[in-house]
Amino acid sequence: MKKKIIVVGGGLSGLMATLKICEAGGEVELFSYCPVKRSHSLCAQGGMNACMDTKGENDSVHEHFDDTVYGGDFLADQTAIKGMCEAAPKLIKMFDRMGVTFTRTPEGLLDLRNFGGQKNKRTLFSGSTTGQQLLYALDEQVRAWEVKGAVKKYEFWEFIKIIKNKESVCRGIVAQDMNSMEIKAFRADTVILATGGPGMVFGRCTASTICNGSAVSAVYQQGALIGNPEFIQIHPTAIPGSDKNRLMSEACRGEGGRVWVYKDGKPWYFLEEMYPAYGNLVPRDVASRAIYDVCVNQKLGINGENKVYLDLSHIPADYLERKLGGILEIYSEFVGDDPRKVPMQIYPSVHYSMGGIWVDAKHNTNIPGLMASGECDYQYHGANRLGANSLLSAAYSGTVSGPEAMRWAKEGERGSELTDEELAKAAKECREEYEAILKMDGSENAHELHHELGEVMNKYVTIERVNKDLDYCFDEVKKILKRWDNIGIGDKSNWANQEGMFARQLRNMIIYALVVTRAARMRDESRGAHYKREFPTRDDERFMKVTVAEYDQATEEPKISYADFDHSLVKPRPRNYAVAKKE
């Protein structure tokens, strides 16, 4: 019998895992909220890092590895990073064979550009819609396997939870058809979650509306451990918006964009002044903190508002068109100004979660039979992710989780297959939960409540974190959790009921917000994206450890502990982007 793997999520990581499973002779049932071709990976703009060394800079895989470890402020598994950086050039060649429309040099080779936290040109790109192009390539390859019958897609199906057998091994999932609202249980030999990040926990962010972290929160509540949840990347350059903050790629700075504000009536290129060695290409956490400081503490934002200039207007328009076309369109369209002519106005925004489901080197979670890969895992970025390493980690993690899922399906101690009764019971529980939600008739509106959750999380758990504020925030989120019980569902329909499903997602988001906030409260140091003025330096003795969050059923709060991790390859050293990196 063929092994059956359930993959939840059809972004870059889920699709990569799917391909690996198909090639190993397995069958995949692929679950996604949306047609997989619309997954959030397509929002990645700037590129994917891989050491190609085609620009005469003597770039090396080791340098990519070291930049990633250093950029992550020594909190990521070094052996895992090493594997990822070694695989990167091979992945690029694979994508090239699949037909990704990488931007090319005049001689027809793959072009490279600069990106933050790296001195060498190492970022491959397709204009400024690299994620879209990489996702489409894998979508196409998976479609070919679909035609061959190895993949069955469940698009517009929402994952609700995993099912464990009596030996506590994950052997299936419960999911809901988002149109018919049918709730059904499915058997699997292995389950891979590749469900992306939790951006929507912060309301406004650069993420798609589907990035709510609900699936991660659901398995956390079923016993999966979360690693480093407090490390939330704030991207320095986004267009602030009331519905979403739209990303303006780091590639803008990679291609020569400069960040400035007026000071004493003259342009002040503050990143270049503060960080002469890296200038505008400091890593994201560093740039975001600087912008925050200039706007909030020094009150030098544009017209006194929280905005600074990101300036491309000195770069020739045809060059910009070729290298950055897609995003200049976004800016012109949504703001109305032409970034080829006037400086853009930007501000930092919640962007990416370095933390996520705790996994081992092969992407197994602590629940046997359940794996996690892509942004929903915690593996590759430590305290801060380098730009253009996310497409890499997403694709790479799929090349690890896919084969491992097959290995587990063949050799793992999986215990007994789920019986029909167990399947029916799991589906029935979820159905009852859902029906109870539909009956809710309180006074709170789920979307309004979500808005409040986002406001409080954005205010207290982003760039600068203060312990007493985090305590306050935790209490506020607990209140929001309590108020969730008083939601009213106006839509009682049994067809495409988005409101009912959103209420279920919202509860998971609130539970996850508690995890992020508590973990941030407990880490009394500053490292990467996690910054506390009260504890301004990195404290390797106490905190060069992975934060591990475990769900406590009784209180619905996380229990936090700290675990060691593999940092056997390079010794930690102070991280300072004002000077050139030393090894």
Partner 1 sequence: MAETKKVHFIIERQDGPNSQPYTEEFEVDYRPALNVVASLMEIQKNPVTKDGKKTTAVVWECNCLEKVCGACMMVINGKAQQACAALIDHLEQPIRLSASRTFPVVRDLMIDRSVMFESLKRIHGWVDVDGTWEVHNDAPRQNPKTATTAYEISRCMTCGCCMDACPNVNRGSEFIGPAPIAQAHLFNLHPIGEYQKEERLDALMEKGGLASCGNSQNCVQACPKDIKLTEYIAKLNRDTNKQALKSLFNK
Interacting residue with partner 1 among 2, 25, 57, 93 (CB under 8 A): 93
Q: What is the DSSP string of 452-463?
A: HHHHHHHHHSSS
How close are the terminal C-alpha atoms of the chain, in Å? 52
- By the 8 A CB rule, do 142 and 41 touch? no
Which residues in the 246-285 window bind partner 1 by CB under 8 A?
A: 246-247
**Is position 297 an interface residue for partner 1 (rule: CB under 8 A)?**
no
- Contact indicator for 68, 386 with CB cutoff of 8 Å: yes
* Site map 359..398 versus partner 1, x via CB under 8 A: ----------------------------------------
Contact, 345 vs 308, CB < 8 A?
yes
The dihedral built from the CA positions of residue 85, 87, 89 and 91, taken in this order, carries a sign that is: negative
Residue of 4, 40, 161, 523 interacting with partner 1 (CB under 8 A): 40
Q: Binders of partner 1 among 428-467, rule CB under 8 A?
A: 445, 447-448, 451
Question: How many residues interact with partner 1 (rule CB under 8 A)?
Answer: 70
Of 122, 204, 284, 414, which one is the catalytic site residue?
Answer: 284
Binding of partner 1 by 102 (CB under 8 A): yes
Contact flag: residue 133 with partner 1 (CB under 8 A): yes
- By three-state DSSP, how is residue 14 classified? helix
For residue 37, state whether it binds partner 1 (rule: CB under 8 A).
yes
- Shortest Å, Cβ 153 to partner 1: 9
Residue with tokens 């030996």: 167
Host H or E run for residue 68: helix 61-71
Give the contacts of 188 (CB within 8 A, at least 6 positions apart).
4, 5, 6, 29, 170, 171, 172, 173
The only residue of 83, 223, 256, 326 in contact with partner 1, by rule CB under 8 A: 326
Q: How far is CA 86 from CA 54, 89, 184, 496, in A?
A: 16, 7, 41, 45
**Which of 53, 55, 86, 140 forms a contact with partner 1 (CB under 8 A)?**
140
Please say which residue, 335 or 466, places its beta carbon nearer to partner 1. Answer: 335
> Is 517 among the residues that bind partner 1 (CB under 8 A)?
no
Site membership for partner 1, residue 495 (CB under 8 A): yes
Q: According to the binding rule CB under 8 A, does residue 122 interact with partner 1? A: no
Q: Binding segment for partner 1 among 19-27, 295-303, 344-352, 559-567 (CB under 8 A)?
A: 19-27
Nearest CA to 470 out of 480, 457, 479, 460 is that of 460
Which of 2, 25, 99, 267 touches partner 1 by CB under 8 A? Answer: 99
Q: Based on the number of CB atoms within 10 Å of its own CB, is 207 exposed (0-12), middle (13-18) or buried (19 or more)?
A: buried
Q: Does 109 bind partner 1 (CB under 8 A)?
A: yes
**Residues near 152 by Cβ (< 8 Å), separated by ≥ 6?**
27, 28, 29, 30, 146
Asked whether 24 and 47 are in contact (CB, 8 A), the reply is no
- Measured CA to CA, the distance from residue 219 to residue 370 in angstroms comes to 9
113 is catalytic: no
Which of residues 9 and 528 has its CB atom nearest to partner 1 in the complex?
Answer: 9
Name the residues annotated as catalytic: 284
Residues that bind partner 1 (CB under 8 A): 16, 19-20, 23, 34-35, 37-40, 42-43, 90, 93-94, 96-99, 101-109, 126-127, 129, 132-133, 136, 140-141, 143-144, 146-147, 155, 179, 208-210, 241-244, 246-247, 322, 326, 329-330, 333-335, 399, 445, 447-448, 451, 490-491, 493, 495-496, 498-499
